């Protein structure tokens, strides 16, 4: 018969996945305002660009919200998906069901041709595979996409730290109270720039010389960052000048908080004024400078705050290995049984440009600007 019914599913107990066309219901108990607002903003960008796969992207982002992912994680995943979907649209693809392994390979090559760094390409590839896993689990994409995953080899360079003379020259050109306090806090505490910008006035205790980080932006772990004498002095000067009505410790003009872009531009400006622009220093170099200073000052590796630098990074870059002739050379140097040498602890690794610390020169503390 021409009107015979043909079953749509070979497996009767499994229904095809149809993502919701709108946002899921929101309850006040979940308090999802930042993530939900961000997701709706991302969906509007997809609609504006006319990209396909909007229901799946939206449901994928809401799944990340249900897993309590950070807004920054959701934003970075969406950025990758938008770039990938735009690339697929240029190649003539019209649906997510037609994605092939060749599309992934050509996308990687296109990102490399655009001048993207290996670390950026590798991160975007991880985001794509998370989205493809989501599609495969819902029988939208073919499972072969997850076999023998493509990888991008990322170079593992040594962490960059500022030379002692460069630190002096940099601080000498910073006269603005807010900027000097911000740079010294980054330099002396080893805090991430996102943690400093998110710090509230209620979390600063100048009497105890400490900043309470209730939940780190990256690791989601709480800790206490201690201030040096010069950082505490610079911070006290800024506190006396700042607007007491502002909640954040550092804020911009007309804004509740200072943005990362604004700080990066100010840092680049001071590097240029100090004649250090050609050295390629970044804000994150201040964090590595703090760890290097602590080790060069004689702090044991086991006593280095693991929250300042991830333990894997500390062991890999900042700890010289035990000589091969020493018994137990395969064990790590931060083992308390291996640290003592004639009753003393050997100094940590001195990165290039930090040999002056072994001559007795130190950056702690620095005199205030004239």
In a structure prediction context, what are the per-residue pLDDT tens digits for the chain, which is 370 residues long?
444 443 433 433 444 556 655 554 443 333 445 788 899 999 999 999 999 999 999 999 999 999 988 888 999 999 999 999 999 999 999 999 999 999 999 999 999 999 999 999 999 999 999 999 999 999 999 999 999 999 999 888 778 889 999 999 999 999 999 999 999 999 999 899 989 999 999 999 999 999 998 877 777 788 889 999 999 999 999 999 999 999 999 998 877 778 899 999 999 999 999 999 999 999 999 998 988 888 887 777 666 655 455 545 555 555 543 333 333 333 333 343 333 334 444 443 333 333 343 333 444 444 444 4
What pTM was computed for the model? 0.67
DSSP, collapsed to helix, strand or coil, labels residue 78 as helix
CATH number of 33-146: 1.10.150
Cβ-contact 217, 167 below 8 angstroms: no
In the numeric block, which tokens belong to residue 336? 């308390």
Instruction: Report how far residue 337's alpha carbon sits from residue 343's, in angstroms, rounded to the nearest whole number.
Output: 11
In whole angstroms, give the CA distance from residue 194 to residue 287.
12
Range 116-121 contact pairs with CB under 8 angstroms and sequence separation of 24 or more: 118/152, 118/153, 118/154, 118/155, 119/154, 121/152
Long-range contacts of 110-117 (CB under 8 A, 24+ apart): 111/83
List where CATH 1.10.443.10 sits in the chain.
164-323+331-359
Largest Cα–Cα distance of the chain, in whole Å?
A: 96
CATH 1.10.150-classified regions of the chain = 33-146
Counting every residue written for the chain, the total comes to: 370
**For residue 250, what pLDDT is reported?**
94
Main-chain phi, psi angles of 246, to 5 degrees: -80, 140
At 338 the pLDDT is 34
Assigned CATH topology for domain 164-323+331-359: hpI Integrase; Chain A (1.10.443)
Helix 177-189 vs helix 260-273: crossing angle, to nearest 10 = 100
CB-based contacts of 8, cutoff 8 Å, min separation 6: 16
- Predicted confidence at residue 295, as pLDDT, reads 81
Instruction: DSSP letter for 16, please.
Output: P
Using CB atoms within 10 Å of the CB of residue 267, give its burial: 0 to 12 exposed, 13 to 18 middle, 19+ buried: buried
């Amino acid at each position: 018969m021409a009107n015979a019914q043909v079953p749509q599913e070979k497996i009767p107990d499994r229904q095809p996945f149809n993502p919701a066309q709108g946002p899921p219901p929101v309850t006040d108990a979940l308090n999802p305002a930042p993530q939900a607002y961000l997701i709706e903003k991302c969906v509007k960008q997809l609609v504006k660009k006319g990209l396909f796969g909007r229901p799946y992207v939206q449901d994928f982002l809401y799944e990340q919200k249900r897993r309590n992912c950070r807004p920054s994680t959701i934003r970075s995943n969406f950025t990758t998906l938008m770039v990938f979907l735009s690339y697929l649209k240029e190649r003539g693809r019209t649906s997510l069901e037609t994605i092939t392994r060749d599309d992934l390979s050509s996308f990687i090559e296109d990102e490399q041709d655009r001048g993207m760094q290996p670390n950026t390409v590798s991160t975007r590839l991880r985001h794509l595979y998370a989205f493809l896993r989501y599609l495969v689990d819902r029988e939208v994409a073919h499972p072969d996409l997850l076999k023998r995953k493509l990888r991008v080899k990322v170079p593992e360079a040594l962490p960059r730290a500022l030379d002692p003379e460069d630190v002096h020259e940099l601080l000498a050109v910073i006269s603005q109270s807010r900027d000097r306090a911000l740079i010294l806090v980054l330099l002396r505490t080893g805090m991430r720039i996102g943690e400093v910008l998110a710090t509230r006035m209620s979390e600063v205790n100048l009497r105890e010389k400490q900043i309470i980080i209730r939940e780190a932006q990256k690791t989601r772990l709480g800790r206490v960052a201690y201030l040096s004498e010069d950082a505490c002095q610079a911070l006290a000067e800024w506190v006396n000048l700042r607007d007491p009505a502002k909640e954040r410790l550092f804020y911009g003009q007309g804004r509740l908080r200072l943005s990362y872009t604004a700080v990066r531009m100010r840092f680049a400006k001071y590097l240029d004024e100090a004649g250090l622009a050609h050295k390629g220093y970044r804000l994150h170099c201040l964090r590595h400078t703090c760890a290097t200073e602590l080790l060069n000052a004689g702090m044991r590796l086991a006593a280095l705050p693991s929250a300042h630098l991830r333990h894997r990074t500390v062991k890999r870059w900042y700890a010289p290995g035990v000589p091969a002739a020493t018994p137990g050379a395969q064990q790590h140097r931060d083992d308390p049984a291996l640290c003592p040498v004639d009753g003393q602890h050997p100094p940590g690794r001195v990165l290039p440009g930090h040999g002056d610390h072994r001559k007795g020169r130190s950056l702690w503390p620095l005199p205030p600007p004239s």
